[in-house]
Amino acid sequence: MTRILVVDNHGQFTHLEHRLLRDMDGVDAELVANTTPPEDLDADGLVLSGGPDMADIGRCPDYLDLDIPVFGICLGMQIIAAELGGRVESGDYGGYADVNVRILDEDDPLLGSLAPDTRVWASHADEVVELPEGFTRTAESDICGVEAMSDTDRDLYGVQFHPEVAHTEEGEAVFENFLRICE
């Protein structure tokens, strides 16, 4: 079994991320508080959930040094970027919307298997506007320059959109790809 911990950053879709993973074959998924000490996390991979804002992130930055794959979703991606030297700013488009995302790297282990243009459900209240060192921009849209990013050397991945919701085409495939990275 692949053990995945979903770090709860108090996002409205966190329970969907946990549920989707829990229902997948061969996955032992558990939801954990974002204040859980890093030394208490025993997993093959972490999902940093979305959430309302950067002020409520607990100890998530410490989780980036555990030498296991980490997948940040929305706020989770912003946490990764901010903690590793990137820059996050308020987006121009705000709330949730259906967005057409272009996959930029067909070899990316997280998103490369998706259709080159895919519809997703995303919030753009805040966005990564400058990538941390070592990261590659792997998806973009007309409203956001960094819809996804990857650092394959450190197995750190992030998406601005929400693959766990039904509005996102191929969302389950994103989680399946992350599980392959964790194996």
Among the listed residues 74, 124, 127, 182, the single catalytic one is 74
Q: Catalytic residue at 162?
A: yes
- Check if 15 is active-site: no
State the burial class of residue 32 (Cβ atoms within 10 Å of its Cβ: 0-12, 13-18, 19+). middle
Q: Which of 60, 147, 164, 182 is catalytic?
A: 164
**67 Rama class: left (phi>0) / alpha (psi -120 to 50) / beta:** left
For residue 20, the SS3 value is helix
Question: Is 74 among the residues known to form the active site?
Answer: yes
- Among residues 17, 124, 144, 162, the one annotated as catalytic is 162
Cβ atoms within 10 Å, residue 115: 12
The amino acid at residue 105 is D
CB-based contacts of 65, cutoff 8 Å, min separation 6: 38
The residues that are catalytic are 74, 162, 164
